[in-house]
Amino acid sequence: MKLLKSSLYILLILVINIPVYADYPPAPKFQLPTEDGVLNSAQLKGKLVYIDFWASWCRPCKNSFPWMIAMKEKFKNQDFEIVAINLDKDKTLADEFIASQNINFPIAFDPQAAVAEQYNIEGMPSSYLIDQHGNLRIRYTGFWNKSKNEKELTINKLLKNH
């Protein structure tokens, strides 16, 4: 019976092209300060969002920024946003790194790690893809150059399937 039910869902997706989101939990909502005010997760509704939790002391976190900048540029004409959430307790450490980059997406600050806790991060950096319906689709822990192409393909696929 379970196999039949799964097959029916797959058939519905393939034939009618209706995305099924029931298996994906809603992303935790948040409101965090940025340099330009406050970023509320509700502002991101309707976009595919790549959220990246990072800190200035984390080398892989810093290494992910050129890729994120490139992805934001590549998908700038689509409903795609990147939000980097900094976890440094001392904001000046984050500010030094931010000043050294040409960042083209919002940076939010979570020095108490309250939002990071809601997302249950397991390592640094921790990144999440949240679909246009506000559901958590994919979670990444760490950043490796070998995973960049896979992440880009996933972003492209989720943007096209919207």
Which DSSP string corresponds to 93-144?
HHHHHHHTS---S-EEE-TT-HHHHHTT--SSSEEEEE-TTSBEEEEEES--
Give per-residue pLDDT as tens, 12-67.
Answer: 333 333 333 358 999 999 999 999 999 999 999 999 999 999 999 999 999 999 99
Q: For residue 145, what pLDDT band results from cuts at 50, 70 and 90?
A: confident
Tell whether the model's pLDDT for residue 146 goes beyond 70. Answer: yes
Positive or negative torsion for Cα 24, 108, 117, 57: positive
**What is the SS3 assignment for 156?**
helix
pLDDT at 7 (0 to 100): 44
Q: Going from the N-terminus, what domains does the chain have, and what CATH number goes with each?
A: 22-160 (3.40.30.10)
Buried-exposed string 70-79: b where 16+ CB fall within 10 A, e elsewhere:
ebbeebeeee
Q: What pLDDT does 107 receive?
A: 98
What is the C-alpha separation between 125 and 122, in angstroms, rounded? 9
Encoded amino acid at 98, one letter: I
Tokens of 31: 């409101």
pLDDT of residue 43: 94
pTM of this prediction? 0.84
- The partner residues of 120 in beta bridges, in order of sequence, read none
User: In terms of pLDDT, which residue wins out, 21 or 77?
Assistant: 77
Q: What is the mean pLDDT of the chain?
A: 88
Tokens of 87: 């976890």
- In our burial notation (b when 16+ CB lie closer than 10 A, e otherwise), range 106-119 reads bbbbbeeeebbeeb
